[in-house]
Structures are given as structure tokens and as C-alpha cells.
Chain A
Amino acid sequence: GAVVSQHPSRVICKSGTSVKIECRSLDFQATTMFWYRQFPKQSLMLMATSNEGSKATYEQGVEKDKFLINHASLTLSTLTVTSAHPEDSSFYICSARAVAGTENTEAFFGQGTRLTVV
């Protein structure tokens, strides 16, 4: 199956700082990438949908100015958590979808990033 690489896998940062998480599709071009967040013992909740070359679409309740998403190329999307606070501590995971014409492909997920804000 296709490979999605997410980096870093773990990060600890101080409250008030910003953290950037990268999501790369290694062997295919991803027109769309999805960003999810998972709190302990909860399911994955969609945060935003990112399309290459355009602004991300955020789900209700997700602050677009706090969670900055950039999808500048067909193989890379980044999520920046700005001015992080302890309540932002969570597991963040990305998912990539291949270019149009492969609609029936599975959803490919990165390994996830465990963010801890202290």
C-alpha cells in the first residue's frame, strides 16, 4: 500500500510556543490530505481538509488561526499548532488521498504525532 510519513512522532513543547507537524506522501501524489485529532480514549475527530494549492476547510469548532495548515505541494502538508497550550496536547494524525481517478483507494494514514504541551 501507499506510504504516508508523518514527522515528528513525538514532540514536547512549552506553553506559548508553536509546533509544526509534517505529513508526506512518499510514493504517490496526494491532492487531498485530512488532519485528525484524537484525545485519550476518544475517536479520531476530523479537524480540517487540505487541498493542494488552496485554503484548508476547517470543521466546526476548530480555530483556523490556531491550527495553520499548508498544502503547498502534492506530497506535503503541514499542520502548525500556534501558541500551544496544555489543552492542545493530543494525538494528531494525517491521512492522504491519491489524485483523482483512484477514488476507490483506501485511506492512507501517517504514524501520528503525540504532542505534549507543558
Chain B
Amino acid sequence: KQEVTQIPAALSVPEGENLVLNCSFTDSAIYNLQWFRQDPGKGLTSLLLIQSSQREQTSGRLNASLDKSSGRSTLYIAASQPGDSATYLCAVRSQAGTALIFGKGTTLSVSS
């Protein structure tokens, strides 16, 4: 059964710092991996989607990498801002059309 783990559970950084969030999954046979942002009491905002054949995806200050063989993904946030404060969720889809399996998330706090 696929399990997704995110480390650290919480992270506090000063504004401007670059940071890395980690995600690992137990079954490397995934279809794709997706990173989301969740603000308190809100729904999910999709940040980046990486297909199993891809190594990384970039959007603005965000870069997500995927190493399927080792079962790992990282989300790199450059020049962090207070507005980046949120919980970041990593989720994997094992097969096309199946549901996403989520990690517990990393709660990020960026102080000004």
C-alpha cells in the first residue's frame, strides 16, 4: 500500500530564505506526483504536477523534482515571502484514474 511521508512537519524561516520541502513515497511505481498548497480552513491549490517520466517542473519561484527510483520528491521555494506561509501537501497517483494519496504536509511559516 502506497504511503507518503513529508519532512519536516513544520518549518519556520525568515523572509528571503530559500528552502526545500521533502516528500517520500514507498512504492516507486507511480503515475504522477502533485504538490499542493493549503491555507488554513481552505481547499487545495495545485502548485506543480510531475509526470512519472519527468524529472522536474518549475513555476515561478517554485521548483519540484522527482526521483522515482528512490521514491523522493522535493519542492524548492526560492526567496520565500510571508505570503508563502501555508501547508504544503505532496500527493502521488499510483495509476491513471486512481485517487491521489496524500502526505500529512509541511506547515511553512515565513516571518517578515
Contacts and interface: CB of A to CB of B under 8 A. Distances in A.
Interface in A45-93: 45-46, 49, 91, 93
Band of interface residues on B: 20 to 34
Interface stretch (B63-71, B75-83, B102-110): B102-110
Contacts of A107: 34, 46, 91, 93, 100
B89 A44 contact: yes
Q: Is the interface of B mostly helix, strand, loop or mixed?
A: strand
Contact of B100 (A1, A42, A95): A95
Contacts of A36: 99, 102
Interface residues of A, number: 27
A32 interface: yes
B99 A110 contact: no
Nearest to B103: A43
A91 B43 CA distance: 9
A97 B97 contact: yes
Interface string A98-118: 001001101111111010000
Interface of A: 1, 6, 32, 34, 36, 41-46, 49, 91, 93, 95, 97, 100, 103-104, 106-112, 114
